[in-house]
Amino acid sequence: MRLPLATTVVAIVAGCGPAVTPRPAALTAAAFSAGRWIDLTHAFGADTIYWPTEKGFVLEQEFAGPNPKGYYYAANRITTAEHGGTHLDAPRHFAAGRKTSDQIDPARLVGEAVVVDVTMRCAADSAYEITSDDLVAWERDHGRQLVDVIVLLKTGWAAKWPDRGAYLGTAATGPEAVAQLRFPGLAPEAARWLVQQRRIRAIGIDTASIDHGPSTHFGAHVILCGAEVPIFENVADLSLLPPQGAFVVALPMKIAGGSGGPLRIVARLPESDR
């Protein structure tokens, strides 16, 4: 049974399985009404980072100024790949027959967020793969399991945006550049642990891919997408979010049949974290 996110949390009780306990006062609706919004989205523009094989974001101005009838009018045309900038990977991206962008239940895209901070490990290893041990350590430190939450992986890579060379590990473009990619990601074994041992709503990361840069088989993508877990990539700076308790809204462009799409992701902090 899925428990109402606004009223319950999951706690770990010694010697027992997960037990349902009342949500702390800091996470009540009243606390959020006095909180603030944090934008976790990189703006789309000429410097937006895309995969080396993709063209960048293009905005073409069609008209801007007073028209013959005297009022101001502006309109532009945009061109973009589904997967670039802050965006969604729909399950169909790496799993045949799974949900496309327009088919994802909105309930998977909103909810409490937990932030798993691995910046120190990633600073020491720019191609670090986040392990299930890292996730279990978060649970141990915070006394709860990763159940019915949006997991956000904080590698510190958002601070490198929009320096393409620093963010991707290479400023080169084209198919040959893919082998030069170097940034952190989630290990396939950790992705498998999440889908087999836990139940998360969605997962996001502040790098270009949920798999680390050197990946050639994209195991984390395959496992998560196969389990219908939405993925958010190129999430912006997570430093203002607490380890738990923020409320996230991550709404992608609703593309019929899409494998992903541009994403606006924001977080609401409760009053206690203002």
Q: Over pLDDT 90: what percentage of the chain? A: 85
Query: Does residue 145 fall inside a structural domain?
Result: yes
Three state DSSP letters for the chain: CCCCCCCEEEEECCCCCEEEEECCHHHCHHHHHCCEEEECCCCCCCCCCECCCCCCCEEEEEEEEECCCCCEEEEEEEECCCCECCEEECHHHCCCCCCCHHHCCHHHCEEEEEEEECHHHHHHCCCCEECHHHHHHHHHHHCCCCECCEEEEECCHHHHCCCHHHHHCCCCCCHHHHHHCCCCEECHHHHHHHHHHCECCEEEECCCCCCCCCCCCCHHHHHHHHCCCCEEECCCCCCCCCCEEEEEEEEECCCCCCCEEEEEEEEEECHHHC
Convert the pLDDT of each residue in 58-102 to its tens digit. 999 999 999 999 999 999 999 999 999 999 999 999 999 999 999
What pLDDT score was predicted for residue 120? 98
Closest CA to 110 of 268, 255, 226, 216: 268
What pLDDT score was predicted for residue 71? 97
Query: Does residue 4 fall inside a structural domain?
Result: no
Query: Does residue 6 fall inside a structural domain?
Result: no
Residue type, 139: E
Structural domain containing residue 95: 27-54+82-273
Q: Over pLDDT 70: what percentage of the chain? A: 86
Taking residues 137-154, report their average pLDDT: 98
Query: Does residue 67 fall inside a structural domain?
Result: no
Q: To which residue do tokens 């399991």 refer?
A: 145
Query: Does residue 3 fall inside a structural domain?
Result: no
Looking at the structure of the chain, the number of domains it has is 1
End-to-end CA, the chain: 33
Query: Does residue 118 fall inside a structural domain?
Result: yes
More confident residue, 234 or 274: 234
Query: Does residue 64 fall inside a structural domain?
Result: no
Convert the pLDDT of each residue in 171-226 to its tens digit. 999 999 999 999 999 999 999 999 999 999 999 999 999 999 999 999 999 999 99
Q: To which residue do tokens 């912006």 refer?
A: 236
Query: Does residue 238 fall inside a structural domain?
Result: yes
Convert the pLDDT of each residue in 16-48 to its tens digit. 334 433 344 445 555 556 689 999 999 999 999
Residues 181 and 169: beta-carbon distance below 8 Å? yes
Torsions phi, psi of 140, nearest 5?
-65, -45
